[in-house]
């Protein structure tokens, strides 16, 4: 048993070292062009929160950029060998309309590391547009502090914003993995003397996610494996009015083409009737 645990820890360590190397290369390249990036989730938590790279699994890089910097970042990533899985970056990041899907995956043929480029902390194929609209990303960027990731320049979320983000992220993924609970609990312990709970709850209330934070804080005290349907219906019942709920259901079954394109790694032109019928069939199972 001990040997198996050691093997798992070594695997986590090896994955994170490769991920860290790729992340630093990207961060330095972005810095040269004056582009700031906030590290989200796994890699940041492993280095800054857990303090041990073998404590937290993952081989993904999650970068949060300002919306205005998304187009500037694409050619920089291309020069480093990174390519988007779906050719829809300009469609996803174009304009200021709220959208639940606010990221795009990049890959490099010679690496197993996956890069997720975000421009909002809400990211889901569910129709969570209202949450994306209500959360003020300018406030998040203004409150973020300068830091480093093994020598590479980063911005870090304010502790209260980090907790809100981890709660939103964990619930969207219906706490399917124990790590979603561990992330919140470990962050709460790490920042216990820095968190202003009045500010945290006030910010969550202002952004319309207070119910999510309340649920998650209670959930981590007695975690249990969540289920897709229960989590989905929690979001459904928090939609305002009959019209909001009906639109939520409609967009679940018939999301916008841009959401389908990103989910299926296809250009917009290839999103048609058959893909929507396949979606309906999968949901009904």
Digit-coded pLDDT (tens) for 163-190: 999 999 999 988 888 888 888 999 999 9
Which pLDDT does position 4 carry in this prediction?
Answer: 45
Query: What does the block give as tokens for 150?
Result: 């093994």
Of how many residues is the chain composed? 285
Are the beta carbons of 26 and 63 closer than 8 angstroms? yes
Residue 206 has pLDDT above 90, yes or no: yes
Which pLDDT does position 3 carry in this prediction?
Answer: 44
Which pLDDT does position 8 carry in this prediction?
Answer: 55
Residue 7 has pLDDT above 80, yes or no: no
Ordered strands of the 114-118 beta sheet: 83-84, 103-107, 114-118, 60-64, 38-40, 152-156, 145-149
- 2-284 under CATH 3.30.460.40, yes or no: yes
Strands (E), 19-137: 38-40, 60-64, 83-84, 103-107, 114-118
Other C-beta atoms closer than 10 Å to the C-beta of 255 total: 21
pTM (two decimals): 0.89
Using a 10 angstrom Cβ sphere, with 0-12 exposed, 13-18 middle and 19 or more buried, the burial of residue 80 is middle
Which pLDDT does position 259 carry in this prediction?
Answer: 87
């Amino acid at each position: 048993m001990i040997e198996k645990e050691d093997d798992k820890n070594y695997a986590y360590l090896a994955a994170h070292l490769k991920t860290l190397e790729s992340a630093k290369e990207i961060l330095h390249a972005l810095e040269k062009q004056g582009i700031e990036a906030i590290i989200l989730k796994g890699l940041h938590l492993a280095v800054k929160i857990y303090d041990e790279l073998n404590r937290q699994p993952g081989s993904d890089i999650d970068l949060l950029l300002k919306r205005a910097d998304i187009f500037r970042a694409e050619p920089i990533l291309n020069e480093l060998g990174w390519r988007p899985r779906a050719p829809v970056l300009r469609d996803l990041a174009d304009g200021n309309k709220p959208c639940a899907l606010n990221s795009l995956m990049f890959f490099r043929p010679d690496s197993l590391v996956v890069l997720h480029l975000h421009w909002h902390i809400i990211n889901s194929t569910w129709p969570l547009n209202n949450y994306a609209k209500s959360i003020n990303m300018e406030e998040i960027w203004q409150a973020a502090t300068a830091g480093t990731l093994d020598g590479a320049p980063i911005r870090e979320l304010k502790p209260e914003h980090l907790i809100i983000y981890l709660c939103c992220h964990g619930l969207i993924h219906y706490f399917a993995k124990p790590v979603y609970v561990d992330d919140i609990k470990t962050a709460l312990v790490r920042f216990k003397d820095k968190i202003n709970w009045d500010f945290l709850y006030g910010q969550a209330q202002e952004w319309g996610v207070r119910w999510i934070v309340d649920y998650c804080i209670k959930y981590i005290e007695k975690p249990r494996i969540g289920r897709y349907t229960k989590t989905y219906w929690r979001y459904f019942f928090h939609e305002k009015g009959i019209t909001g709920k009906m639109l939520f259901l409609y967009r679940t079954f018939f999301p916008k083409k841009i959401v389908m394109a990103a989910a299926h790694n296809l250009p917009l032109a290839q999103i048609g009737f058959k893909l929507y019928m396949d979606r309906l069939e999968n949901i009904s199972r």
